[in-house]
Amino acid sequence: MTNATLPLIDIDSISYTPGGTPVLRDVSLSSDVARIGIVGRNGSGKTSFARVLSGLVAADEGQVRIAGVDVARDRRRAIGAVGILFQNPDHQIIFPTVEEEIAFGLRQMGQSKAEAARGVAAILGQFDKRHWAQASIHQLSQGQRQLVCLMAVLAMQPRVVVLDEPFAGLDIPTRLHLERVLAGLDLTLVHITHDPAAVAAYDHVLWLERGEVVQQGSARPVLRAFETRMKELGASDDLSDLAG
- In 3D space, the residue among 134, 126, 128 whose CA is nearest the CA of residue 100 turns out to be 134
Domains of the chain: 1-81+160-238 (3.40.50.300), 92-157 (no CATH)
Integer CA distances (angstroms), 70 to 26, 187, 233, in order: 17, 19, 38
Which positions ≥6 away from 102 have C-beta within 8 Å? 119, 120, 123, 124, 148, 151, 152, 155
- In 3D space, the residue among 85, 79, 67, 74 whose CA is nearest the CA of residue 4 turns out to be 67
* 3-state class (DSSP) for residue 222: helix
Specify the pTM.
0.89
Query: How confident is the prediction along the chain (244 residues), in pLDDT tens digits per residue?
Result: 445 578 999 999 999 999 999 999 999 999 999 999 999 998 899 999 999 999 999 999 999 999 999 999 998 889 889 999 988 888 889 999 999 999 999 998 899 999 999 999 999 999 999 999 999 999 999 889 999 999 999 999 999 999 998 887 788 888 888 888 888 889 999 999 988 999 999 999 999 999 999 999 999 999 999 999 999 888 876 555 544 3
**Whole-number pLDDT of residue 94:** 93
Give the H or E element holding residue 104.
helix 98-108
**Whole-number pLDDT of residue 181:** 87
Which positions ≥6 away from 222 have C-beta within 8 Å? 39, 205, 206, 207, 215, 216
Task: Note the Cα 188 to chain centre separation in Å.
Answer: 10
Q: What is the CA radius of gyration of the chain?
A: 18
